[in-house]
Amino acid sequence: MTIRFTVNGMGYELPQSRGHETLLDFLHDELNLTGTKLCCGIGVCRACTVQVVKPPSPAATPVISCSTALSTLDGTRVSTIESVARDGRPDPVQQAFLDQFAFQCGYCAPGFVMAARMFLSDLQARPVPPQELEAAMMEAIGSHICRCTGYVRYFEALRSLAEAVNAGEAIEL
Amino acid sequence: MSSPPVSRAALMSRRGFLKTASGVIGLSVLGLPGRGQGAGAAVSTPLGPVPGVAVQRIEGLAKVTGQKIYARDFRARDMAGWPGRQWHALYLRARTTKEAFLGLDLSHLPSEAEPAKVILGSDLDPKLFDKPVEFNRDLHVDHLLSIKAEEQSNTATGGSFNLPDGLSFDLLVMPGRTPNFLGQAVALLLFDTLAAYRAARRFLAADDGIVQRYGPGEGPDGTPLPDQPFDPRTLYVKDPGFDYAGTDSETYAREAPQVQARIRQALDEATDLIRQPIRAEMRAMDPMFMEPEAGLAWIDPASKEMQLVLGTQSPDGDVRNIASMFGSEASPVPDLAQVTLHSCYPGGGFGGRDSSPFSLMLALAVAFAGGNPVRLAYDRFEQFRVGLKRHATTADGTLYAHDDMRLEAVRLSMVFDGGGRRNLSPYVASLGALCAGGSYRLPVADIHAEARHTENISGGSQRGFGGPQAYFAIETALDDLAAAEGWDQMALRRANLIAEGDTTVTGGPIEQSLNLPEMLDTAEAHPLWAERAEIRAAHEAEGRTYGTGLAMSLQAYGTSGDGMVAAVHLGRDGTLTVQSDAVDMGNGSATTLGVTIGPILGANATRVDMGGYTLFAETGLSDDSASPDRWDDPMWTQKGTGSSSACLTALHQVNTVQQTAQALLRGSLLVAAAQLWGVGPLSAEDVIWEAGALRPVGAGSAPLTLAALAKAVHEMGLPTGALGHAYFQNSWVEADFDTPGGALRLQLDGLAYYHGAKTAPQPIPRRNGSYPTPETARYSRYVWAPCVNVVGLTLDRASGHVQVENVLSVLNAGHIHVPQMVSGQSQGGVAMAIGYTLLEDMPPGMEGPADGRWNLDRYHVARAGDVPPGDRYAPGARAQELITVPQPPGSPRVGRGIAEAVMCSIPPAISNALRDATGIRFASLPITPDKILGGLAK
């Protein structure tokens, strides 16, 4: 038995004996993809959030990579922060965070970016009543910990995108 | 873009070396090419086309796209010229201070988790270095440890490698000795495979005590003894005839106790004065920066160069301490030639990476790694267990007031739990003593503050540096006084505001405009305060308990004497590079320094290199304290550089960069412009920057683009860069410098010019200097960032849960360089303060993180739902509004330290709001639901 999954489009096949290893360790030490950050290591702070698609569902879900065993990833498609920018150009979420000075030390930023992207994708597919948008944003990124900024600027940055998307405006994610 | 000179030139200077017992060790701080924040780094992205305006953080793109810029991101394989292999270090930590550490019993370790080497304190004994004990994982470790313990009992303990300069206690506990504090390292385990390291971590995660042996033995080594204070202690006594600032140190030390007795007697006899007790206590707080400390090190066996990859707030001190450690007679690497630090952007700091012992622990590990690169990476449990904390503190005293609201005196004793290592704890206590005077005129003071050595986790330089504890004590006592006397809280404060011409509790004068009355006016008129009764009524109508609290802080920034260095380079293509000794820990220093040159040189920097403390070596200046000539020597300065503090950016680092940019403008660019225009000498007032080009004021010659000027500067042999050093001690040192543009008077004490990228800068001796007077050194602090905070909160009386509904911060931030970063810093300060006041609960001893099992599931920091989400007050909504004091026209373009200013008065404002809501004083932080329910039950 093997564990098969992709990371940023590249396929990997690992023996089941490695199933206990965490996705975060695999990203860091095997793939040298260190953009996904370790902070608490127990799945509380969400700095290590990555995007995982598990067919047949096409929907991406946020996954806490520090607490996700490789054994649970068989058949999945994993995307990390390194896959987001195209040719060095930030995606709309990254650009909004830059424009709003949303982060300071920046260590939590990749986790916020990944969670915000998945939230906006969901919103594109299933808009919510405008009065529920704030609560939906809180649901999406409210559990992420940032120690520098006090969150206000992250929410401001996401709010402008979320309002646009929720109103039917297309953005490329 | 042409490259600026990299600081390797510093290695040829006096400051680039450290003389040690075993010889001379070179020092250098570099960036990781393309990654770090030091010289040679290139993570910069455009700041924006408008000079002086930043459209984004200069390192923002690298951070938001997940590039490798933090120390934790790097492995040996990422480092050019390093071996691809890598070892892993893991320290075992003391679990008791009641018994002696006897050694390890690693027989429980699974075979796949055995270390390649085990290092004990006894292995660091100088007498044993000729035959270091190496524990191969195939050997019977326990047997060897028994032999070692027996040898240990017959040999002298201690050794300078284990006890580097400035440390009171061994890095590794000597077997047979009682640990000095919980979490002190008792053993270093080195693993030659990642798999073994991970297996050991997994095995030890639940209980690392399983491999440690404790029992009867010798007591702790070193001083001070438990519960004794670290030196120095602080005593500020002040009455109309005597104070700290106005008395020389010897006289003060001799007479202060007598004055203290005199003050106490006078206060005891002044029965007409109103007495208000001051009583407050605060738990320790973890800075909880997001990136747990991590680093990489390697000693090149060929060159004997130690390279370190670190994210530190104190590159200067870290490198010097490591060089000192390895330069000791007992060094296991006696022929170390060079220490090079690759300085990375820290994933948060808040003071927790200032003088952190982590760098020494990493250096110690690589000494025994047998020529292999070694990685030391704390996980969050370990970071909680050993990372520097904000001190647990008690404050006990009395406030004395006249019946017309005038404050007369403060008597206060503050005891800071310094924990295991001395670190910066005595100085934190000292600043706490200064802050205890608050924002108020106090004719009489008797303030004592000390940091005690205990078994707890070490305290250090946390955001606020003693201020949070002091302001909590004084501002809650003020509200209690107002309540007891039936006075209005605002009126009581207004009656006692300190102002220019007054003195602090040290006796040092306030010589800076504070704007405190106007700030109180703003707060008083704001609807959050003015309509507090209506807001309360609205909440109560819906069944919620509501209260409003007010508090002020007057946070000092800088120290009692600060030296800074900066370089500004003009590339042949017209691009500008700024270099600074400051470290950007997320506060935005790099961005600020990059835009502050814009109005002077016509464009923002395209690149900013931070953490370059060896820049000082290139100035040609000396800061030798033994110099007989001192300021009479035109190449002497009081202080080269210090540790990097966020609060130093807005004024100190900015002004140094601005003055250096002025030196480049007036000493080079204007000379070139005059030649190109065929006119006589130009002054800065003769020209103006417009759309990226320099033109004469009024009609005249054609504008010159910065690129055209740069080309001319390079071709004419004019200075292509300037290197400035500044010193601030109540005032800036000013001097004349003879430049190609004539004599320039600058707020610098050292200036040198670069001519091309490859050459060392040429220093220019200063003339006609004006220097700080000696007595100013005893003022303690000179510049202040005042803040008034109003908090409105609701309380759920059933659960004890508090929700902060609104925060108003009225802040004097001086000139604001990057408004978005000022508001972001303020919001971060609010969030951290809410956590400190209501959420972050950290018991001492093994009940707390010292047991190695604490993480964010037990230690709760503020999340988005805990902070008011809006940034502008609106009735019925939650917001945190920041109002900054406008600066008069013509004010210098320098700011004031900010985040800690906002943070410091939030905790007392919350406690005061709770008092307003319930009539109960909650003076013990954090104010948890249990404490609130207990208070309500009474």
Partner-chain residue, chosen from B290, B380, B820, that has the shortest CB–CB distance to A147: B290
What are the residue ranges of CATH 1.10.150.120 in chain A? 92-166
The sheet with strand B294-300 has its strands ordered as B17-20, B23-30, B338-343, B305-310, B294-300, B374-377, B87-93, B185-191, B117-120
Contact list in A for residue B287 (CB cut-off 8 A) is 147
Give me the mean pLDDT over the B385-390 stretch. Answer: 98
pLDDT digits (tens, 9 = 90+) for A47-87: 999 999 999 999 999 999 999 999 999 999 999 999 999 98
Record: contact B863-A99, CB cut-off 8 A: no
DSSP H or E segment with residue B435? helix B425-435
Q: Which of B170-174, B798-802, B910-914 has the lowest mean pLDDT?
A: B170-174
Confidence (pLDDT) at A158: 98
| Euclidean distance between CA atoms B231 and B427, whole angstroms | 9
Contact list in B for residue A99 (CB cut-off 8 A) is 55-56
Q: Which of A141-150, B268-277, B307-316 has the lowest mean pLDDT?
A: B307-316
Strands B801-811, B783-796: pairing is antiparallel
Categorize the per-residue pLDDT at B896 as very low, low, confident or very high, splitting at 50, 70 and 90: confident
- CATH for B7-44+53-82+289-386 (3.40.50.300, 3.40.50.10540, 3.40.50.12370, 3.30.365.10): 3.30.365.10
Of residues B762, B788, B757, B841, the one with CA closest to residue B7: B757
Categorize the per-residue pLDDT at B234 as very low, low, confident or very high, splitting at 50, 70 and 90: very high
Record: contact A113-B64, CB cut-off 8 A: yes
- CATH for B87-215 (3.90.1170, 3.40.50, 3.30.2010, 3.30.1240): 3.90.1170
| Euclidean distance between CA atoms B264 and B918, whole angstroms | 34
Give me the mean pLDDT over the A138-157 stretch. Answer: 97
Record: contact A80-B66, CB cut-off 8 A: yes
| Euclidean distance between CA atoms B257 and B246, whole angstroms | 16
Record: contact A105-B349, CB cut-off 8 A: yes
Partner-chain residue, chosen from B61, B70, B381, that has the shortest CB–CB distance to A90: B61
Contact list in B for residue A29 (CB cut-off 8 A) is 75, 194
Strands B731-732, B721-729: pairing is antiparallel
Confidence (pLDDT) at B16: 58
Categorize the per-residue pLDDT at B899 as very low, low, confident or very high, splitting at 50, 70 and 90: low
- Tokens 């820990």 correspond to what residue? B585
Q: How far is A126 from chain B (nearest CA, A)?
A: 24
pLDDT digits (tens, 9 = 90+) for B54-90: 999 999 999 999 999 999 999 999 999 999 999 999 9
Q: What is the mean pLDDT of chain B?
A: 90
- Interface subset of B 581-600, CB within 8 angstroms of A: 585-588
Of residues B907, B933, B733, the one with CA closest to residue B831: B907
B7-44+53-82+289-386 and B393-558+781-937 agree in CATH topology: yes
**Sequence-distant (≥ 6) Cβ neighbours of residue B389 within 8 angstroms:** B284, B285, B286, B287, B419, B457, B458, B459, B460, B462, B842
Q: Does B517 touch chain A (CB under 8 A)?
A: no
Instruction: Check whether B696 has a pLDDT greater than 60.
Output: yes
Taking a C-beta distance cutoff of 8 angstroms, is the pair B750, B637 a contact?
Answer: yes
- Interface subset of B 811-830, CB within 8 angstroms of A: 818, 820-821, 823-830
Tell me the whole-structure pTM to 2 decimals. Answer: 0.94
Q: Spelled out in words, what is the top-level CATH class assigned to the domain A92-166? A: mainly alpha
Q: Percentage of residues in chain B with pLDDT exceeding 70?
A: 91
Give me the mean pLDDT over the B744-767 stretch. Answer: 94
pLDDT digits (tens, 9 = 90+) for B533-589: 999 999 999 999 999 999 999 998 888 889 999 999 999 999 999 999 988 888 899
Nearest CA in chain B to A105: B586
Q: Domain locations in chain B?
A: 7-44+53-82+289-386, 87-215, 393-558+781-937, 562-778
Give me the mean pLDDT over the B317-329 stretch. Answer: 84
Categorize the per-residue pLDDT at B891 as very low, low, confident or very high, splitting at 50, 70 and 90: confident
Taking a C-beta distance cutoff of 8 angstroms, is the pair B836, B925 a contact?
Answer: yes
Instruction: Check whether B610 has a pLDDT greater than 60.
Output: yes
Give me the mean pLDDT over the A127-133 stretch. Answer: 98
Q: Which of B10-14, B99-103, B486-490, B839-843 has the lowest mean pLDDT?
A: B10-14
Categorize the per-residue pLDDT at B645 as very low, low, confident or very high, splitting at 50, 70 and 90: low
Confidence (pLDDT) at B2: 34
| Euclidean distance between CA atoms B34 and B20, whole angstroms | 33
CA B153 → CA B119, B175, B218, B318, distances in Å?
17, 9, 10, 33
- Per the DSSP assignment, residues forming a β-bridge with B636 are B622
Record: contact A81-B66, CB cut-off 8 A: yes
Higher confidence at residue B733 or residue B888? Answer: B733
On the 0-12 / 13-18 / 19+ scale of CB atoms within 10 A, B512 is: middle
Instruction: Check whether B373 has a pLDDT greater than 70.
Output: yes
Taking a C-beta distance cutoff of 8 angstroms, is the pair B586, B346 a contact?
Answer: yes
Taking a C-beta distance cutoff of 8 angstroms, is the pair B199, B423 a contact?
Answer: no
Q: Does B344 touch chain A (CB under 8 A)?
A: no
Strands (E), B406-518: 407-419, 444-453
Q: Which CATH architecture has domain B562-778?
A: 2-Layer Sandwich (3.30)
Instruction: Check whether B138 has a pLDDT greater than 60.
Output: no
Partner-chain residue, chosen from B61, B73, B346, that has the shortest CB–CB distance to A105: B346
Partner-chain residue, chosen from A44, A85, A144, that has the shortest CB–CB distance to B857: A44
Nearest CA in chain B to A34: B73
Structure tokens at B258: 């007598």
3-state secondary structure (DSSP) of residue B845: helix
Q: Percentage of residues in chain B with pLDDT exceeding 90?
A: 78
Q: How far is A34 from chain B (nearest CA, A)?
A: 5
Q: Which CATH architecture has domain B393-558+781-937?
A: 2-Layer Sandwich (3.30)
Contact list in B for residue A36 (CB cut-off 8 A) is 66
Contact list in B for residue A102 (CB cut-off 8 A) is 824
Q: What is the ipTM of this complex?
A: 0.98
- Interface subset of B 619-648, CB within 8 angstroms of A: none
pLDDT digits (tens, 9 = 90+) for B463-483: 999 999 999 999 999 999 999
Higher confidence at residue A34 or residue B889? Answer: A34
Of residues A83, B37, B9, the one with CA closest to residue B17: B9
Contact list in B for residue A138 (CB cut-off 8 A) is 864-865
Record: contact B347-A107, CB cut-off 8 A: yes
Hey, of B32, B44, B57, B65, which one would you mutate to test binding to chain A, going by the most A CBs within 10 A of its CB?
A: B65
Q: Does B462 touch chain A (CB under 8 A)?
A: no
CATH topology classification for A2-82? Ubiquitin-like (UB roll) (3.10.20)
Confidence (pLDDT) at B801: 98
Q: How far is A1 from chain B (nearest CA, A)?
A: 21
Instruction: Check whether B362 has a pLDDT greater than 70.
Output: yes
Q: How far is CA B821 from its chain centroid?
A: 18
Record: contact A106-B347, CB cut-off 8 A: yes
Confidence (pLDDT) at B137: 31
pLDDT digits (tens, 9 = 90+) for B15-52: 356 666 556 777 777 665 555 565 544 466 788 999 99
Structure tokens at B235: 């005593």
Contact list in B for residue A39 (CB cut-off 8 A) is 290-292, 380, 856
Contact list in A for residue B75 (CB cut-off 8 A) is 29, 32
One-letter amino acid identity for B813? A
**Sequence-distant (≥ 6) Cβ neighbours of residue B604 within 8 angstroms:** B46, B47, B48, B50, B51, B52, B53, B54, B576, B594, B595, B597, B598
